[in-house]
Amino acid sequence: MEIFTKKGDQLLTSPEAEPSQRMQRRQFLRYAGAGTAAVGLLAAEACKKDRNSYTGVYLGSGDIGILNYAYALEQLEAAFYIQVVGNTNFKTIFPSTSEQNLFTDIRDHEVAHREFFKAALGTSAIPALQVNFTSIDFTTRAGVLAASKSFEDLGVSAYNGAGYLIQNPDYLTFAGKIVSVEARHAAYIRDLIAPNSFVGSDVVDIASTGKEMERTPAQVLAIAGTYITTKINADDLPTS
């Protein structure tokens, strides 16, 4: 069974091949430490704009928009790691069993993140996005690690930059739990590239604040747009 199918020069994830399809919604809620009542609050929030009036996939406004923004990024990360682990050369590139297991764990984490947002958003969720990873070298260890580092750093900076925009404290709790996992991934990948580099002095202001880098949604989507071929409309995302 193929993990990816081709459409033109785009790589599309195959839902039938992904491990997430075997998961149940209750597992996602348990993963995030959320009860059905908390997630049910999403149903009470409706997008105030007519989606049909926008070009591209409309993320929405308010908390719904921010959660769809996070969902888009988790789709991207999940698709990347599915391709990494599904690569026929995966065990050659990463001959260590411990590395194979850890990359498989990261894939499963990202799939769980993606499916949690999808389940929580319900009918407000954006559709599956098309991605194109042809610019990434999946045939070498250096190529995979470089791309992985970029995705993890992007994900952490995205959560850091959007967290303060979330109004519902339950959603903020979800985001905090997920970004902490993303930060663990980033540290692990950095250590594979260069031992003891997990602190990431290029993204953490060690000298003064000791805080991690943050990026605005506009900055993040501009970078992610290198790989997400589906047009995304983020016009109504909150900015303050």
Nearest CA-CA partner of 64 in 221, 179, 216, 234: 234
Domain edges within the chain: 4-35+52-233
pTM of this prediction? 0.77
pLDDT in the model for residue 225:
96
* CA-based end-to-end distance of the chain: 46
Class of 4-35+52-233 in CATH: mainly alpha
DSSP symbols for 74-107: HHHHHHHHHHHHH-TTHHHHS--HHHHHHHHHHH
Residues 38, 44, 46: CA angle, nearest 5 degrees = 130
pLDDT in the model for residue 11:
39
Q: CA–CA separation, 185 vs 192, rounded Å?
A: 11
pLDDT in the model for residue 44:
43
Q: CA–CA separation, 236 vs 240, rounded Å?
A: 12
pLDDT in the model for residue 220:
95
Q: CA–CA separation, 184 vs 176, rounded Å?
A: 13
Q: Which two tokens stand for residue 54?
A: 């926008």
Q: Which two tokens stand for residue 190?
A: 């950095």
pLDDT in the model for residue 22:
44
Low-confidence ranges of the chain (pLDDT < 70): 1-54, 196-212
Q: CA–CA separation, 91 vs 94, rounded Å?
A: 5
